C-alpha cells in the first residue's frame, strides 16, 4: 500500500526530527511514527527513501541517531523491513568507515553500530523465519531447526558473532562515556546510552537461544567437538553479565527498561539436568514517559467507539439567522475529525500489535512454566522409583537381620564350640555393624527422598535447611559485624582523603545492615512458619491414619453387606421366575398400568445413566469411595426392586398377551363358523355384518401391532435387566479387588505408621535442637542489634564530619577550577602564543615553583594527620593542569619542529615525563609516606628541566623560522622593487639610444628594448597574480592564527617562495645588465640578452610552482597566475627571437668586401678567424666547465643550509 502525500510528508517530518543534529536521545513519538509508517507502506522502502536524504555523512549526531532509529525499525517495524534494508548494507558500511576515523567518541561508536546493524541484517537474511524482534514462541526454534544438528551448530556460531558485535558496541559506548567524562543524566550522555536499550532487547533472547542450542548440541555431539563453543559462550557470558550489571547501575535505565539478571555461574552443558533448572532471563519495558507522548495523549483523548455514529459537527453562529449549514466552515472541522480518526486507527492497530506481542509472551511463559512442571513431575516419579527400590533393599536387610538373629538363637551352645562361636560372633557382629551402617545410609537416603516427595518431608527438610541457614546467617552476621567494624575504622581513616568514597561506603554499610536485619527477620519468620506447618502436618497425618483405619473397618462391613445383598438378589431372581406364571393372569391390570410402566422405564434409563456416571466417577476418585458406597447401595436396592417390578410386569404382559391372542383366535373361529352357517339366512344383513367384519379386522390388526410392540419392549427390558445384573456382578468383583487393595494399603500404612512414629521421635529431637538454636540466635540477634545501633551512631557522626570536610574540599576545588578557567580564557586571547618554546618555558618555570610547593604542602598534610586537605587539593589541581599544558605544548613543539631528529628526542623525553606524571599521581593516591612522594616530585622536576633545556636549545636553532613571515614580505618587496627598477632602466636606455643612435643600430636597439619592456610588464603582471594567490592561500590556511604564524608552520614552502623571489629579482637585474651591454656593445652581447631572458623566465616559473603547491583547486587566482605565466613565456620567446634577428642584421651590415682584399690580406684574415674560432671553442669549453661547477655548488648550498 502506497502512502498518500500527507502521510509521506508527516513521515518525512517525523524521521527528520528523530535524526536531528541536537545531542539528545530520540523521542519515542518520532520512533513510533516511523514504525507505523513502515506498516502503512508495507515495508521499508518509504523509510529508506527519506533516510538516504538525511545528512548522515555530514553530521556525526545525525549518523548516530540514524543507527538508533534503524535498529528500532528493524526490531519493531514491518516484517519486510529487514529484507528491504539488505540493499543498503553498502551505505552503512561506508558510513562506518567514514566516521571510524573520527576520534571524538561518536566516530568509533558509529563504526561499531553500523557493523552491528549489518550483522543483524545478514543474520535475518540467513534465518528469515526468525523475526527482527527475535521473539519466538516456545517450540518454534525446534521447528525452525527441524532436528538438523548441523543447522544448530551453524546457528550457534552466528549468534556468537551477533553477541560479539553487541558487546563491542556497548564497550565502546561506555568507554566514550568514561573517556569524555559524560554524565548519564545529561542529554549528551543519554544520547550515547539510548541505543543500549535495543541492544539489551536483542542480547536477551539471543542468550536464551544459544543456551538451549548448546544443551541440544551437547546432547547429540561429543563434548570435545564443542570445546570452542563453550569457550566462546564462557567469554560472552561474563561480558554480558558485566554489561547488564553496568547498565543496571545507571539511573537513566531505571524507568526505561528492567535489565535482566544473569545467574552467578554459567550453565553446565555437559549435564543435561541443568536444563531443568535453567530459567530464561526476562526483560520488562515499563510505560514510557508521558512527556514524550504528548501527541499520543491528544489522540487518546479523542478516541471514540467506532460502532456508534459519529458525533454531529457543531454549526458556526449564523448572524443572518439562516437555517442552512455552512459547508465551507464545517469542512476544516470534518478534515480535523477525519485526521483524528485516522490517527486513532493507527494507534489502535499499533496497540493491538503490542497486545498480541505481550499475549504471545505470556503464552510462552505459561508453556515454559508447564514444561518446568512436567520436568519436576518426572523427577518426582524418578524419586518415587528410587524410594521403592530403597524400601525393597531395606526389607531385604531386615529379613537378613532376622535370619541372623534366628541363626544366633538356634546355634549350638558356646561350651561345645567356644572358639568357633567367638569367631562367628565377631563375624556376625562385623556383618551386623556393616548391615547397620548400610541400613543407616539407606535410611538417610530414604529420608532425603521422602523429603523431596511428600509435603511433610518437604517441611521437615525446609526446617532443617532453615536451621542450617540460621546458623550460617548467624555466622554471616558475626562475620559481617566484624567486617563492618573494620570497615568503619577504615572509613574513619580515609574519610578525609575521599569524601565521595566515604559516602558510598556509609550507604553500603547501612544497606548491608538493613539487609542483615531483614534476612534475620525473614529466617526467623520462615522458621516459625515451617514449625507451624510441621506440627500441622503431623496432626494431619495422625488424623489421616485414624481415618484410614476407620475406612478399612467400613470397607470390611460393606463387603459383608454386599455379599449378603448378592445372596438376597439371587433368591429374589428365583422368586421372580416362580412368580412369572402368576403374573400371566394379571394382564388386565398391566393394561391399566402401561402408562405408569413407560414412565418408570424412562426413570430407569435416567437412573441407569446416573449409575454409570457414578461408577466412572468412583473409578477416577478412589478417595470418595466410602461416601459413594452408601448411595450405591441405595441405588442398588431401588434397581433391585425395579427389576422385580419389571420382571413381574413382563410376565403379566406376556400372559395377558397369550390369553388375548387365544381368545381372539377362538372368536375368529366362532365368527367364521357362524358366518358359514348363517350366510344364507343373513343376506339381508350382509352389509351390516361386512361393516362389523371390517371393524373386527382393524381391531385385530391393532392388537397384533400392539402385541408385537409389547413383545419387543419386553425383550429389550429383559436384555437391560441382564446387562444390569452383569454390571452389578462386575462391580462386586471390583469391590472385592479394591477390598484386597485396601487390605494391602492398610498393611503398608501400618508399616508407614511405625516409620512415622520413629521419625516423629527424630523430629522432636530436631525440634528441641532448633528451639535451642533459636534461643541462641535470639541472644545473638540482641547483641547484633546493639552493635548495629552503635555503628549507626558512629556512622552518623562520621557522616557529619565527612560532609563538612567534603564541603571544604568542594570549595577548594571550585576555586582552583575558577582560576584555571580564567587562565585558559586569558590564554585563548593570544592564540599565537600556543605551541612556541617561549610559552613552554614560561609554563615550565611556573610548574617548577608549583611542584616545590606541592612537596611542602604534602609534608604538612601528612604531619596534620590528613586534615589539611584543601591546600593539597588546590596544588594537585593546579599542578595537574600545568603538567597537562606542558605535555600538550611540548608535543606541539615537537610536531612543528623543522629539526626532526631533535623533535623526536624531545618527544621521547616528554613520554618519559608523562610516565613520571602518572607515577606521581599513583604515589599521591596509594602511599602515605612523604619520602616516596618527594622522590617522585624530584624525579619529575629533573625530567621537566631536561625537557626545558632541550626545547631551549631547539628554539635557538630554529630562530630563523621565527622571522620567516617578515623575511618573505621583505623578499617579495625587494623583488617588486627590482622589477620596477629594471623596467625604469630599460625605459631610460631606450630614451638614450634614441638620442644617440640612428639607422640600423637605433632600429635594433628599439626592437630589443621594446621586447625587454614587454617581458618586464609580463613579469610584473605575473608577480601581482602571484601575490593575490599567496594572499588567498594564507587566508584559507591560517585559520584563527596570524599570517606570520602560517609562514612559520609552513617554513619549507615559505623558504621556497623566498628563494623564488630572490631569483626573480636577480634575473631582473641580470636582464637589465644584458640589455645595457647589448645596446652598447652590439651583436656580440646578443647571447647575454638571450641567456638573461631565459633565466628570468625560469625564475618566474619557480615562483609559479612555489605558489601552486598550496593553492586550492578551482581557484580563480591560480588560473590567472597560469595565464600570466604563459604570457611571460611568450614574451621571453619574443625577446630571444628579436635578439637573434637583430644580431643577424648587424652581422649582415658588417660583412667584409672580399673583392677588395689581396691574397695575402685574405690569407691573413682567414688565419686570424681560425685562431679566433679556436680561442672561442676553448673559451666555450672552459665556460661550460665553470657553469657545471657553479651549478653543482648552487645545488649543494641549499642542502647544507
Let me know: does 1092 contact 1012? Beta carbons within 8 Å.
Answer: no
Q: What is the rounded average pLDDT of the residues 1021-1048? A: 68
Q: How high is the pLDDT of residue 1007?
A: 76
- pLDDT at res. 119: 95
Segment of 587-596, 692-701, 880-889, 1040-1049 carrying the highest mean pLDDT: 880-889
36 or 489, which is more confident? 36
Q: What is the pLDDT of residues 162-180, one digit of tens each?
A: 999 999 999 999 998 888 8
Cβ within 8 Å of residue 509, ≥6 positions away: 484, 487, 488, 491, 791, 795
- For the cut 50, the answer to whether the pLDDT of residue 673 exceeds it is yes
Query: Residue 747: what pLDDT?
Result: 74
User: Do 12 and 33 meet the contact criterion of CB atoms below 8 Å apart?
Assistant: no
Range 897-922 average pLDDT = 77
Cβ(822)–Cβ(884) below 8 Å = no
- Angle at which helix 60-76 crosses helix 5-18, to 10 degrees, equals 120
Q: Which DSSP string do the residues of 193-249 spell out, in sequence order?
A: HTTHHHHHHHHHHHHHHHHHHHHHHHHHS-TGGGHHHHHHHHHHHHHHHHHHHHHHT
> 25-39, 658-672, 784-798: which range is least confident on average?
658-672
Cα–Cα distance for residue pair 796/805, rounded to 1 Å? 14
Tens digits of per-residue pLDDT, 469-492?
A: 656 655 665 666 566 556 656 655
Q: Give me Rg for the CA atoms of the chain.
A: 57
Helix (H, G, I), strand (E, B) or coil at 835: coil
What angle in degrees, to the nearest 10, is found between the helix axes of 227-248 and 196-220? 150
Q: What percent of the chain has pLDDT over 70?
A: 58
Cell 363358523 appears where?
A: 673
The closest alpha carbon to 183, from 21, 18, 23, 292, belongs to 23
Are 436 and 404 a contacting pair, CB within 8 Å?
A: no
Neighbours of 679 (CB within 10 A): 11
| DSSP code, position 253 | G
Segment 691-720 shows an average pLDDT of: 68
Average pLDDT for 911-921: 80
Give the mean pLDDT of 624-637.
62
In angstroms, the CA 1070 to CA 1064 distance is 10
DSSP single-letter state for residue 25: P
* Nearest of 1127, 1134, 1139 to residue 1086 by alpha carbon: 1139
pLDDT at position 304: 33
Question: DSSP letters along 524-577, please?
Answer: HHHHHHHHHHHHHHHHHHHHHHHHHHHHHHHHHHHHHHHHHHHHHHHHHHHHHH
State residue 255 phi and psi, 5-degree precision: -95, 0
Q: What angle do CA 297, 298, 303 make, to 5 degrees?
A: 95
Tens of pLDDT, residue by residue over 812-858, are 676 666 666 656 655 554 444 556 777 777 777 777 887 887 777 77
The mean pLDDT of 1057-1067, rounded to a whole number, is 68
pLDDT in tens, 1077-1094: 776 665 555 677 777 777
The region of weakest confidence among 511-525, 678-692, 734-748 is 678-692
Q: Which grid coordinates are listed for 391? A: 524400601
Lowest mean pLDDT among 5-9, 181-185, 324-328, 947-951: 324-328
What's the pLDDT at 296?
Answer: 38
- Would you say 735 and 559 are in contact if contact means Cβ atoms under 8 Å apart? yes
Q: Which of 87, 114, 22 is nearest to 59 (CA)?
A: 22
Distance CA(19)–CA(13), nearest Å, equals 10
Which of the pair, 66 or 508, is modelled with greater confidence? 66
Average pLDDT estimate for 871-888: 77
Q: DSSP assignment, residue 284?
A: B
Cβ atoms within 10 Å, residue 721: 20
pLDDT of residue 617: 61
105: left (phi over 0), alpha (psi -120 to 50) or beta: left
DSSP string, 584-628: GGGHHHHHHTHHHHHHHHHHHHHHHHHHHHHHHHHHH-GGGHHHH
Average pLDDT estimate for 750-756? 72
Q: In whole angstroms, give the CA distance from residue 612 to residue 381.
A: 32
**d(Cα 582, Cα 584) in Å, to the nearest integer?**
5
Q: What is the pLDDT of residues 727-748, one digit of tens each?
A: 767 777 777 777 777 777 767 7
How is residue 806 written as a grid cell? 567534603
Cα separation, 466 vs 470, in Å, equals 6
Asked whether residue 324 carries a pLDDT value surpassing 50, the answer given is no
pLDDT given for residue 825 in this prediction? 58
- Is the CB of residue 804 less than 8 Å from the CB of residue 502? no
At residue 753, the pLDDT reads 73
**Which residues in 686-701 are b (16+ Cβ under 10 Å) and which e?**
eeebeeeeeeeeeeee
Mean predicted confidence (pLDDT) in 1126-1130? 78
User: Is the model's pLDDT at 422 over the cut of 70?
Assistant: no
Beta bridge partners of 284: 258
Share above pLDDT 90 across residues of the chain, in percent, rounded to a whole number: 13
- Predicted confidence band of residue 122 (pLDDT cuts 50, 70, 90): very high
Is the pLDDT score of 1145 beyond 70?
Answer: no
The span from the CA of 1153 to the CA of 573, in Å, is 183
- Mean pLDDT across the chain, nearest whole number? 72
Q: What is the pLDDT of residue 300?
A: 36
Q: How far is CA 436 from CA 396, 409, 429, 755, in A?
A: 13, 19, 10, 16
Record the pTM.
0.33
Cβ 465 vs Cβ 836: under 8 Å: no
Residue 66 has pLDDT above 90, yes or no: yes
Joined together, the cell numbers standing for residue 720 give 437391560
Structure confidence at residue 655 as a pLDDT band (50, 70, 90): confident
Measured distance CA(349)–CA(825) in Å, rounded: 57
Positive or negative torsion for Cα 702, 708, 711, 713:
negative
Q: What is the pLDDT of residues 958-1007, one digit of tens each?
A: 544 555 555 666 666 777 777 777 777 777 777 776 766 666 666 777 77
Q: 562: helix, coil or strand?
A: helix
Section 439-467 average pLDDT: 61
CA distances from 358 to 32, 33, 140, 608, 867 (A): 17, 20, 17, 50, 59
Q: What is the 3-state secondary structure (H, E, C) of 934-957?
A: HHHHHHHHHHHHHHHHHHHHHHHH
Total number of residues shown for the chain = 1201
Q: How far is CA 928 from the centre of its chain?
A: 44
Give the single-character DSSP code of 258.
B
pLDDT at 730: 76
Residue carrying the nine cell digits 604538612: 860
Task: Kindly indicate the confidence band of residue 191, based on its pLDDT and cuts at 50, 70 and 90.
Answer: very high
Lowest mean pLDDT among 16-20, 363-367, 634-638: 634-638
Residue with cell 487518546: 300
Closest Cα to residue 140, out of 308, 398, 367? 367
634 vs 21, higher pLDDT: 21
In this predicted structure, the answer to whether residue 1120 has a pLDDT above a threshold of 60 is yes
Amino acid at each position: 500500500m502506497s502512502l498518500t502525500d500527507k502521510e509521506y510528508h508527516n513521515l518525512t517530518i517525523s524521521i527528520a526530527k528523530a535524526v536531528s543534529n541536537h545531542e539528545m536521545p530520540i523521542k519515542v513519538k518520532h520512533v513510533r511514527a516511523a514504525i507505523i509508517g513502515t506498516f502503512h507502506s508495507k515495508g521499508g522502502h518509504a523509510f529508506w527513501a527519506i533516510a538516504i536524504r538525511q545528512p548522515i555523512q555530514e553530521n556525526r549526531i545525525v549518523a548516530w541517531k540514524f543507527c538508533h532509529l534503524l535498529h528500532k525499525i528493524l526490531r519493531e517495524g514491518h516484517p519486510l523491513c529487514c529484507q528491504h534494508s539488505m540493499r543498503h548494507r553498502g551505505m552503512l558500511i561506508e558510513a562506518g568507515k567514514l566516521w571510524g576515523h573520527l576520534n571524538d567518541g561518536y566516530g568509533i561508536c558509529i563504526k561499531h553500530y553500523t557493523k552491528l546493524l549489518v550483522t543483524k541484517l545478514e543474520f535475518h537474511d540467513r534465518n528469515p523465519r526468525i523475526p527482527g524482534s527475535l521473539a519466538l514462541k516456545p517450540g518454534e526454534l525446534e521447528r525452525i531447526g527441524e532436528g538438523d544438528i548441523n543447522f544448530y551448530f551453524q546457528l550457534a556460531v552466528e549468534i556468537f558473532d551477533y553477541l560479539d558485535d553487541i558487546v563491542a558496541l556497548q564497550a565502546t559506548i561506555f568507554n566514550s562515556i568514561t573517556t569524555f567524562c559524560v554524565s548519564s543524566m545529561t542529554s549528551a550522555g543519554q544520547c550515547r546510552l539510548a541505543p543500549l536499550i535495543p541492544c539489551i532487547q536483542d542480547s536477551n533472547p539471543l542468550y536464551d537461544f544459544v543456551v538451549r542450542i548448546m544443551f541440544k548440541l551437547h546432547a547429540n555431539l561429543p563434548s570435545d567437538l564443542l570445546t570452542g563453543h563453550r569457550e566462546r559462550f564462557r567469554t560472552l557470558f561474563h561480558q554480558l553479565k558485566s554489561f547488564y550489571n553496568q547498565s543496571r547501575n545507571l539511573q537513566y535505565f531505571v524507568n526505561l527498561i528492567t535489565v535482566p539478571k544473569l545467574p552467578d555461574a554459567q550453565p553446565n552443558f555437559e549435564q543435561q539436568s541443568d536444563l531443568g533448572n535453567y530459567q530464561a532471563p526476562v526483560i520488562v519495558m515499563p510505560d514510557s514517559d508521558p512527556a514524550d507522548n504528548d501527541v499520543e495523549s491528544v489522540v487518546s483523548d479523542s478516541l471514540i467507539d467506532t460502532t456508534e455514529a459519529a458525533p454531529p459537527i457543531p454549526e458556526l453562529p449564523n448572524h443572518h439567522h439562516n437555517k442552512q449549514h455552512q459547508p465551507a466552515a464545517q469542512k476544516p472541522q470534518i478534515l480535523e475529525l477525519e485526521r483524528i480518526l485516522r490517527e486513532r486507527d493507527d494507534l489502535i492497530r499499533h496497540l493491538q500489535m503490542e497486545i498480541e506481542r505481550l499475549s504471545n509472551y505470556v503464552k510462552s511463559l505459561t508453556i515454559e512454566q508447564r514444561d518446568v512442571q512436567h520436568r519436576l513431575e518426572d523427577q518426582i516419579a524418578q524419586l518415587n522409583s528410587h524410594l521403592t527400590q530403597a524400601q525393597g533393599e531395606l526389607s531385604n536387610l531386615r529379613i537378613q537381620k532376622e535370619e541372623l538373629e534366628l541363626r544366633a538363637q538356634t546355634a549350638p551352645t558356646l561350651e561345645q564350640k567356644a572358639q568357633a562361636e567367638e569367631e562367628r560372633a565377631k563375624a556376625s557382629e562385623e556383618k551386623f555393624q556393616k548391615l547397620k551402617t548400610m541400613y543407616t545410609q539407606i535410611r538417610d537416603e530414604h529420608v532425603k527422598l521422602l523429603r523431596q516427595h511428600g509435603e511433610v518431608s518437604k517441611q521437615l527438610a525446609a526446617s532443617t535447611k532453615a536451621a542450617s541457614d540460621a546458623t550460617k546467617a548467624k555466622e554471616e552476621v558475626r562475620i559481617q559485624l566484624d567486617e563492618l567494624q573494620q570497615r568503619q575504622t577504615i572509613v574513619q581513616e580515609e574519610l578525609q582523603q575521599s569524601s565521595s568514597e566515604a559516602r558510598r561506603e556509609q550507604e553500603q554499610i547501612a544497606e548491608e545492615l538493613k539487609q542483615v536485619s531483614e534476612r534475620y527477620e525473614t529466617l526467623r519468620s520462615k522458621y516459625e512458619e515451617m514449625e507451624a506447618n510441621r506440627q500441622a502436618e503431623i496432626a494431619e497425618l495422625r488424623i489421616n491414619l485414624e481415618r484410614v483405619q476407620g475406612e478399612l473397618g467400613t470397607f470390611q462391613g460393606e463387603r459383608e453387606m454386599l455379599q449378603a445383598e448378592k445372596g438376597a438378589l439371587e433368591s429374589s431372581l428365583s422368586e421372580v421366575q416362580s412368580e412369572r406364571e402368576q403374573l400371566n393372569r394379571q394382564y388386565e391390570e398391566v393394561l391399566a398400568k402401561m402408562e405408569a410402566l413407560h414412565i418408570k422405564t424412562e426413570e430407569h434409563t435416567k437412573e441407569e445413566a446416573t449409575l454409570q456416571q457414578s461408577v466412572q466417577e468412583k473409578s477416577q476418585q478412589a478417595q470418595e469411595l466410602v461416601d459413594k458406597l452408601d448411595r450405591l447401595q441405595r441405588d442398588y436396592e431401588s434397581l433391585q426392586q425395579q427389576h422385580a417390578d419389571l420382571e413381574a410386569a413382563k410376565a403379566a404382559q406376556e400372559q395377558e398377551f397369550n390369553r388375548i391372542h387365544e381368545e381372539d383366535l377362538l372368536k375368529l373361529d366362532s365368527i367364521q363358523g357362524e358366518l358359514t352357517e348363517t350366510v344364507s339366512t343373513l343376506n339381508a344383513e350382509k352389509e351390516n355384518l361386512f361393516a362389523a367384519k371390517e371393524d373386527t379386522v382393524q381391531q385385530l390388526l391393532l392388537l397384533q401391532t400392539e402385541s408385537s410392540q409389547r413383545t419387543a419392549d419386553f425383550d429389550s427390558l429383559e436384555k437391560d435387566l441382564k446387562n444390569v445384573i452383569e454390571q452389578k456382578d462386575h462391580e462386586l468383583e471390583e469391590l472385592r479387588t479394591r477390598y484386597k487393595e485396601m487390605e494391602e494399603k492398610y498393611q503398608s500404612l501400618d508399616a508407614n505408621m511405625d516409620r512415622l512414629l520413629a521419625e516423629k521421635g527424630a523430629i522432636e529431637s530436631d525440634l528441641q535442637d532448633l528451639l535451642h538454636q533459636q534461643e541462641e540466635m535470639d541472644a545473638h540477634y540482641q547483641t547484633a542489634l546493639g552493635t548495629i545501633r552503635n555503628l549507626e551512631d558512629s556512622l552518623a557522626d562520621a557522616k557529619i564530619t565527612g560532609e563538612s570536610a567534603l564541603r571544604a574540599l568542594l570549595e577548594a576545588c571550585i576555586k582552583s577550577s575558577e582560576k584555571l578557567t580564567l587562565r585558559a580564557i586569558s590564554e585563548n586571547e593570544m592564540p599565537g602564543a600556543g605551541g612556541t618554546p617561549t610559552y613552554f618555558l614560561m609554563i615550565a618555570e611556573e610548574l617548577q615553583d608549583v611542584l616545590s610547593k606541592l612537596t611542602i604542602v604534602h609534608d604538612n598534610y601528612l604531619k596534620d594527620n590528613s586534615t589539611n586537605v584543601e591546600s593539597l587539593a588546590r596544588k594537585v589541581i593546579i599542578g595537574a593542569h600545568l603538567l597537562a599544558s606542558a605535555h600538550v605544548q611540548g608535543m606541539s613543539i615537537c610536531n612543528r619542529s623543522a629539526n626532526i631528529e631533535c623533535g623526536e628526542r624531545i618527544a621521547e623525553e616528554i613520554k618519559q615525563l608523562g610516565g613520571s606524571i602518572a607515577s606521581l599521581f599513583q604515589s599521591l593516591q596509594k602511599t602515605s609516606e612523604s619520602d616516596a612522594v618527594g622522590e617522585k616530585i624530584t624525579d619529575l622536576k629533573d625530567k621537566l628541566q631536561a625537557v626545558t633545556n632541550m626545547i631551549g636549545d631547539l628554539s635557538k636553532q630554529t630562530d630563523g623560522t621565527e622571522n620567516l613571515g617578515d623575511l618573505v614580505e621583505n623578499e617579495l618587496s625587494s623583488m617588486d622593487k627590482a622589477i620596477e627598477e629594471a623596467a625604469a632602466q630599460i625605459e631610460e636606455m631606450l630614451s638614450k639610444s634614441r638620442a644617440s643612435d640612428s639607422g640600423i643600430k637605433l632600429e635594433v636597439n628599439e626592437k630589443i628594448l621594446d621586447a625587454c619592456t614587454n617581458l618586464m610588464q609580463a613579469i610584473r603582471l605575473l608577480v601581482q597574480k602571484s601575490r593575490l594567490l599567496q594572499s588567498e592561500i594564507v587566508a584559507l590556511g591560517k585559520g584563527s592564527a596570524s599570517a606570520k604564524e602560517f609562514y612559520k608552520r609552513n617554513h619549507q614552502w615559505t623558504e621556497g617562495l623566498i628563494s623564488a623571489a630572490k631569483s626573480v629579482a636577480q634575473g631582473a637585474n641580470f636582464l637589465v645588465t644584458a640589455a645595457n651591454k647589448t645596446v652598447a656593445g652590439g651583436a656580440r652581447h646578443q647571447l647575454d640578452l638571450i641567456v638573461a631572458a631565459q633565466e628570468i623566465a625560469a625564475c618566474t616559473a619557480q615562483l609559479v610552482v612555489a605558489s601552486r603547491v598550496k593553492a586550492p583547486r578551482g581557484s580563480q587566482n591560480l588560473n590567472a597566475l597560469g595565464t600570466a605565466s604563459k604570457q611571460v613565456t611568450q614574451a621571453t620567446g619574443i625577446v630571444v627571437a628579436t635578439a637573434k634577428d637583430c644580431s643577424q642584421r648587424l652581422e649582415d651590415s658588417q660583412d667584409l668586401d672580399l673583392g677588395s682584399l689581396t691574397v695575402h690580406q685574405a690569407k691573413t684574415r682567414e688565419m686570424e678567424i681560425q685562431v679566433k674560432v679556436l680561442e672561442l671553442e676553448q673559451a666555450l669549453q672552459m665556460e661550460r666547465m665553470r657553469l657545471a661547477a657553479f651549478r653543482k655548488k648552487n645545488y649543494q648550498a641549499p642542502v647544507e643550509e
